[in-house]
Structure formats: structure tokens, C-alpha cells
Chain A
């Protein structure tokens, strides 16, 4: 009987197949080895200056608990948001948080929306290797609330008493102003009078000096001083929105940079900033070239209305109004400045797409150095108070696309530029068009930063907040605005922070535990099963190489529990071999020939291997689906381990065992089992 099997076994075909299998296993092991230890291999090649090709280094993806970092789970409060808008609000919140955490330079921050049970929404933030978690939490949690408000003109009637009070106050102010004017006209010293009487607390100390102003920032004053001569002081009372102004024109000059009035046509393409068109870049270019051919000063507005992809162009005809240096994108500004009056530019490209520009007019800007004495008057607003002074508009921080620090072209003071999205641009246009000559206030966290007056309808979705900013303040504000207001309130409900040192310690400890565990298992196998034990140990090594390579290539995020799963799977991996070897011994004991027993051992053990691993697989799958990330790591590595170990224990070990010379094995059967046992 044994002869038959030997013949069968030594058929070149059978053995050849075994060698092919062996070659495949070896190749798999070698590839895995290079994936696992590419770093060390490359290092060795370099340091020994060997003439060998290098391999690509693939790092392990370490979880937060290994590399240090923090995991934050926020509850998003969507109760006040209509169900249909919830998804978009949550996505918005995720984007905002992503932008905020990007400031921390964390590699691959993870921000994701999970829906928890009972319909709650969660936002999960993972920041690996972050130093200052507290700062990150603050940055994520802060909700700058940006609002644009217009004057509230609803139901603003004063009572008779209030009206009387107002009139009385204003009459007194007028008397006071006339009094100061009298002193001024009788050659009083302007600076001394300002110190004594001006109600502008900021300037009264330095003789009422306002510095250089222009029509764009102090329009009513600029209008008055435009009619005055250099060195002259006011000869009569002038009233502005603030009160009575007594002015002295110290100096005036014409600014080098002219202001331009222009319109443009924008053809944007897919991928350009704020673009909702689906033209490709090439199509957009072709279209703008075509428009350039058609355009004349006479038909420009119509062409813009019909073709421009700028939001609001249908009504504005691409009119940009008056603008100065520093208000537009650089390429755009240069082209516009260089154009002759009445000319239309060649197509230019900016981050928004392709433009052609029609320069309608240009003007010089005069700046005045002015001192003033202000005697304040009251308006209805002052009496009814700030509560009802402003009312909200449709426009808010959620319409903000981008904000940047700019410098006022007139005086170089820092400003914060705002750029709205398509909706925002439309709202802003509507708001400005109904508030011409009235202020629009910009509020941040309920605090008014500035209330610039609207001179004309503003299209194109650009606005500027100018206040008395320092450069740092402007930068901070711009950053906060960029970080954006969260569309949904969030609450931190779970935090897990692992210090980097603890992470490194865990890695070192797990490594030690893994190696120790491996040695224990190998010793156990060899003591218990002799030669097959050695072969099983070899296939256990191959198992390790393959699993680690899968961890790297998949990639599986390795967590502490994941490593525990992997270490445990070293023990599980040899389960199948133990089952097979035990069966093999039984078969031998039952008097089967060795080669036959090997086959039988492998075949008969299969059902037990399958059943045993199957329950583990079920458990792992349930854990992967139902558990938090900590457990998931364990379940995933154990799951992979079980699958790969079935391959190595059955295919690899069997292959190795069969490759050993059968006759030699028969002669030296002690290396498989105690021959004593045969007697049983």
C-alpha cells in the first residue's frame, strides 16, 4: 500500500506541482518581506553600497493611540434646522471644521459625519500627532457669528416727548456749534478750540486732526472741504450725519493712482473659483474669444447681461462701479488700469475664469488733510437705541466664501476683504441696491465692526470691512472669518487624547509582547510536534509577513487593540496546524502509512478548522459593524488574521511537509511522533 502511494507521490507531475506551489509561496513571502521591511532593506543597500535596486517604502498607518493625538466626537444640534436642509448644514459644518483644523498642520486630519442612534448626528474629528489639543478644541468650537445688518426703518416713530427731547438736544448742539464758530471766526486757534469743544473723543486731543481722508471713507466731510481752500477754516455751520462739523483744510493732494469705472464679462469654467458653469476651460476660452470679437462699448452691457457667468450679471450688466488700486485681483487690476478710457481689453485669466474688461471712465482721487471740531447731534437712532437700530438681512457668514487681508489704497490701512458665494453675491447686491446712501453694518459675534455707507449698488459679491484695525487684528479677523461660522451648533461629547510618549511606549510594549508571544508559540509547536512543528513555525513566519504586508497595503489603521488582535491571531494562526497535526498522529496511530496519513490529516481536520474559524469570523464581523473604533481595530486585525492563517496553515504547511522526501520521513518517523505511540 505504501508503495502505491510512493509511486503516486513521486510522479514528476505531482512533485512538479508542489514545486510550483512552493515557488508561489516563496514569491509571496519575498514580496511581503520587501513591503514589510522596505525601509531596512533600503538602508542596508545604502550603507553597504550594494548595487541593488531599492524598493518603495510603505509606512504603517498608525492609529491615534499609537502616534499620539486626539479623537473628538461632537454632537451636532440639528433640531432647529429643517429636515431637508440638515445634510447640507452638516456638510457645511464639516467643511468649516476641516478648514479650522487645517491650521494645525496635522497630517491627514479626519473629519467625518456619523449618524448616531436615535437620529442624532455626530461629527468625528481625529487629529493625529497634534501638540496642543486644547487650542484645537477652542478653534473647532468657536463659532464666529458674522451678520450683515441694514438700518431698521420699521416702526421708528418717536413719541412726542422723545421728539421734544431730540429737538431740544439738537437745538442746544446748534447753539454750541454757533458759539464755537463765532470763536473760530474771531481768529480763535482751531487746535485749542478742538481741544476744548470737540465731541470727537478720538481726535480732540491732537487738535481735531483726522489725517488724510478721501471721499471713500469720509464722504460728507470730503464733500465740504472740496469747496475750501488750503489753510482755510469753516465760515459757516455744516451739518453731517454725526452733527455739526467745523473744519480746517490743512492740505490736499491728488493720489497717484486713479480710480476706474469699468464693467466686465466673466466666462468661468469647471473648477474655477465659485464657478457653477459646466464649461471646460477650452470651451470657456473659445467663448470669451468670440465675445471679444463681438464686443463694442455700445453692446457691452447687453453682452454681459446675456453671457457673463458672474452672479447677478443679468441685472448689473457686469458693472463694477468705481474702484481703486488693491480692490481687484492683481491681473484684473493691472489690465484695467492700463486700458485707455472707452477701450475693451483682450481676454485675461484670473482664478475666477476668463474676463474681458470695458473701461468706462477714470478719475483722479483727491485726498484732504483735515482737522475737525465735531458738535454731536442726535438722530432718531440715538434715542431709540441700538436694539432696533439694525435689522438682519438675508446675508450672513454662511454666504462667505473667502476673506483676506487687504490694504486700503488710500491710506494703506489694513482692511478685511470679503468674497461671497453666488447666493451671497445676489443678497449683497439686493441689500446694497435698497440701501444706497445708507449704512450697512457688519457685526461679528453681535459686535459691530464697521458700518460703511453704501454709495452705489455693489455687484460681484465683494465687500470690504474697514475699521481701525492693526495689521494683526485684520489678520485675526480674516482668519476667523475664513474659519467660518458653523452652520450647526456643536457640542463636544467625547474626547480621547493620547500623549505621544504613551503611544510610543505602547508600540514598544506591544512589540515586545508580540515577539515574546511568537517565541512561546514556536517553542510550543516544536516541543509538541517536532518536524511538523518547525514547518508550522515557518509558515507562521510567512503568515506574519503576509499579514503585516496587508496591514500596510490595505492600509489598516493600526491601533493598540488592533495589535492585540494581531498578536492573538499568531496563536489562532497555528490552531489549524494543531488540529491537522493531532489528526495526523491519530491517523498514524491507526496504522496508516505516513504519506496517506498526511493527506488524511489535512483533509479530515478541515471541517473542524472551518467550524472553529467560522464563529470567530462571525464575531469579528459583528464587532466591525457595531462597535467603536477601538474595538474595530481588534476585530479587523483578528478577522484578517483568521483568513490568512487558514491559507498559511493549510496550504503552506502542507506544501512544506510534502516537499520533504517521503522515504526519509518514513525511516525517521520519530521526528513526527513518538513511535512508542504506535503500540497503543
Chain B
């Protein structure tokens, strides 16, 4: 293996320990991988049922308002007091960096949105100074639009409101698209392996692929349950899109490995498990490297992209990581498990 690569990929360093005769003994250690996967999936399911995903306004309905103050933002308490006489419904106030505040509330009426903005401007106390005309005799002096020194300005960065009916609809659409993509993928897998019946029935490839896929999606969801519980990270429609994309990726990764298994099985002189292990080793680098390029670009978005796409990219990143992991350490070992039962 390339020396430079070993330094950059921690995974290989771990794998080094199980390397025998230039081959990584992945199938032999399948109990370890199953153990890891079962632990992760169980933890994710517990997180899911204990905390659940923190659903954003796309699904719950409600309003989200993000503002930025030109100077020090008022404290959460100040803001909550100022807004206390408005019937906002379940108001949460979350300070962001750079003097910003994000408000979430149930009321979606436009009047309420305006009322909140008015209160915030009053709180900042800087509204009256902007754009005033000062008339001095016959001379009209236009003041700068910039605030007087000492005045704090409020700027509305974004406002989103989702009525309850549309929230229901987005939820329904999300579920529909998940079902449709699952069906499409199962059909595709069945088609891709249609000619393979010996020595492994084609449905077993499909089954292993789909289990790997659920494994990935459950873990991504579990991680977001955790992020929602402890970091207030919400999931909205982009999260669903990320999951769907992970579906596609995960299954594609698995197909690449199985493709090689399919190619090697008839001509191999090794046993079944050894052949699969060889196939994994042959595709290992490319599985990791293809995911790596995509993960690098996603990493760039997570680190540098704006807030609104950061978590979308993070969901993709986690999903693709586990998609690759499961194609190597879960799907193929599963295949040997299915075959072992038969024998």
C-alpha cells in the first residue's frame, strides 16, 4: 500500500492489525463487525424512541425568525420579557453567534411576525434614527441611512412560516418519497443481480444490501436524535433529502462490492468465505477512495458553508461514511451468514 495513504487514513491503521498475508481478514472477524453494527443500531433506536428526532417547522408547522443586531444583542431574558404579551405559542429564543437570535414559535400569522419585529426594534431602540429627513430652513439635509452612534439596529435575516396543513403535507411527501425510492432501489438491485443464481441466490444479495441500507439510515437518524437532544439541531425537509441520497449511495457502494463477488465466485478456487474476503480486499481501496472524494467536498461544506446547509451536508457526510462502512463490514459478511445457514 501507498505509504502516504497509510498516514492519512486512520482506518487502514486499524486494519493493519488484522492484515494477514497482505489481505485484510474481514470475513473472519465478522462477529466484531456485527457487534459494532448491532451496538450502533441499538443505540440509535434507543435514541430514536427515547428522544426522537427534533422536528423543525417544516414538519410541525410554526414560525422561525432569525434576526441580527448591529451591536450587542439583548439577553434571552430581555427578549422573552419584551415578547411576553404576544400570543406567540411555544416561543423559544436561541442566541446565535454574531449578535444574532433565532426565534421559534407556533403562531404563523403575518401580523404576529410584524408585531415581533416591532417589539425587537423598540428593544434595540435604534429604529427612529434611520432615513430621517432633517429640515433646516430651506435646506433639506438627508441623514445617512447608517444609525447614529449608540443606536442598535435589528436586521431580519430570514423568516419562515409553515402552516399546519402544509407541515402535514411535507411529512406525507417525505414518507411517499422514501417509499418510492426504496421500491425503486429494490427493483434495481433485483435487476442488477438478475442473472446470478449460483451459488448465491440473487435475493440474498438484495436482502444483504437492503439491510445495510437500513443500518446506515438508522444510524444517521440516531446521530441526529442525539444532535437534536443535546445541540438543538432540527431536522427539516433537507434532512429527508439527505437520507434519500444516502439510500442511493449506500446501495451503490454495496453493489460495487457484490459486483466483484459475482465476478470472482465462478472462477475462484478458494472457499466461499475466502472468495468474498478477496473480493472485499480488491474493492476496498476504491470503495473508500470514491467515498473519500465526496466526503472531502461535504466536509468543506460542513466547515465553511452557511448554517442552513451545514447540517444537510453533515447528514450526507455521516450517511456516506456509514454507507461505505456497511458495504465492507456488514453487507458482505451478511452474505456469508446467509450462505452458512443454508449449508
Q: Which residues of A contact B (CB under 8 A)?
A: 65, 73, 75, 116-117, 120, 133-134, 137, 141, 491-499, 501-502, 505-506, 509-510, 512-514, 516-518, 520-521, 524-525, 527-528, 560-561, 563-564, 567-568, 570-572, 574-575, 578-579, 582-583, 586, 607-608, 611-616, 618-619, 622-623, 626-628, 630-631, 634-635, 638, 674, 680
Contact = CB atoms under 8 A, between A and B. Distances in A.
B252 A612 contact: yes
A75 B156 CA distance: 25
A496 B192 CA distance: 42
A680 to B, nearest CB: 7
A251 B160 CA distance: 65
16 contacts: A117-B173, A492-B110, A501-B68, A509-B304, A513-B300, A527-B5, A564-B301, A564-B309, A575-B293, A582-B285, A582-B289, A608-B255, A612-B256, A619-B247, A622-B184, A631-B241
Given A561-B309, A578-B293, A586-B282, A499 B248 contact: no
B286 A619 contact: no
B138 to A, nearest CB: 25
Which label, helix, strand, loop or mixed, suits the secondary structure of the A interface? helix
A527 B8 CA distance: 11
Given A495-B159, A498-B158, A520-B299, 4 more contacts: A494-B162, A517-B300, A568-B298, A575-B293
Contact of B296 (A512, A520, A582, A631): A520
B127 interface: no
Nearest to B251: A615
B306 A524 contact: no
B296 A619 contact: no
B23 to A, nearest CB: 11
Contact of A616 (B110, B248, B289): B248
Contact of A528 (B113, B177, B289): B289
B286 A502 contact: no
A561 B251 CA distance: 23
Most buried by B among A493, A564, A614: A564
Contacts of A627: 173, 177, 237, 240-241
B329 interface: no
B201 interface: no
B110 A623 contact: no
Interface stretch (B25-33, B79-87, B164-172, B272-280): B164-172
A132 B110 CA distance: 13
B293 A630 contact: no
B105 interface: no
A552 B113 CA distance: 36
Contact of A568 (B22, B282, B316): B316
B238 interface: yes
B155 interface: yes
B312 interface: yes
B140 interface: no
B163 interface: yes
Nearest to A628: B237
B114 interface: yes
B218 interface: no
A571 B114 contact: no
Interface of B: 2, 4-5, 8, 22, 66, 68, 108, 110, 113-114, 155-163, 165-166, 169-170, 172-173, 176-177, 180-181, 184-185, 188, 192, 237-238, 240-241, 244-245, 247-249, 251-253, 255-256, 259, 282, 285-286, 289-290, 292-301, 303-306, 308-309, 312-313, 316
B245 A607 contact: no
Nearest to A572: B294
B306 A560 contact: yes
B309 A497 contact: no
Nearest to A631: B241
A521 B249 contact: no
A495 B248 contact: no
Contacts of B176: 626
Given A492-B110, A493-B165, A495-B159, A517 B297 contact: yes
Contacts of B299: 517, 520
A-B complex: 7 closest residue pairs judged by Cβ atoms: A493-B163, A517-B300, A571-B294, A517-B297, A619-B248, A571-B297, A582-B286
A140 to B, nearest CB: 10
B150 to A, nearest CB: 22
B245 A619 contact: yes
Contacts of A608: 255-256, 259, 286
Contacts of B255: 608, 611-612, 615
Contacts of B155: 499, 501
Contacts of A638: 245
A567 B289 contact: no
Contacts of A75: 163, 165
Contacts of A628: 170, 173, 237
A59 B169 CA distance: 34
Contacts of A137: 110
Contact of A521 (B113, B159, B181, B293): B293
A635 B241 CA distance: 8
B301 A513 contact: yes
A516 B173 contact: no
B296 A521 contact: yes
A502 B158 CA distance: 8
A525 B289 CA distance: 9
B79 to A, nearest CB: 19
Most buried by A among B245, B293, B304: B293
Contact of A495 (B4, B161, B247, B292): B161
Nearest to A607: B259
Contacts of B110: 134, 137, 141, 492, 495
Most buried by B among A521, A527, A622, A680: A622
Nearest to B189: A615
Contacts of B296: 517, 520-521, 524, 571
Contacts of A630: 237-238
Contacts of B192: 611
Contacts of B114: 134
Contacts of B293: 521, 524-525, 571-572, 574-575, 578
A628 B171 CA distance: 11
A565 B301 CA distance: 10
Contacts of A583: 286
Nearest to A574: B293
A612 B257 CA distance: 11
A635 to B, nearest CB: 7
Nearest to A583: B286
A199 B66 CA distance: 59
A234 B101 CA distance: 75
Most buried by B among A506, A611, A613: A611
Contacts of B286: 578-579, 582-583, 608
A287 B241 CA distance: 62
B169 A116 contact: yes
Contacts of A612: 252-253, 255-256, 290
B248 A521 contact: no
A513 B161 contact: no
A634 B241 contact: yes
B288 to A, nearest CB: 9
Contacts of B248: 615-616, 618-619
Most buried by B among A572, A626, A635: A626
Contacts of A517: 296-301
A496 B108 CA distance: 11
B156 A497 contact: yes
Nearest to B162: A494
Nearest to A612: B252
B157 A524 contact: no
Nearest to A525: B293
A564 B312 contact: yes
Nearest to B110: A137
A215 B204 CA distance: 96
Contacts of B308: 65, 506, 560
Contacts of A631: 237-238, 240-241
Nearest to B5: A528
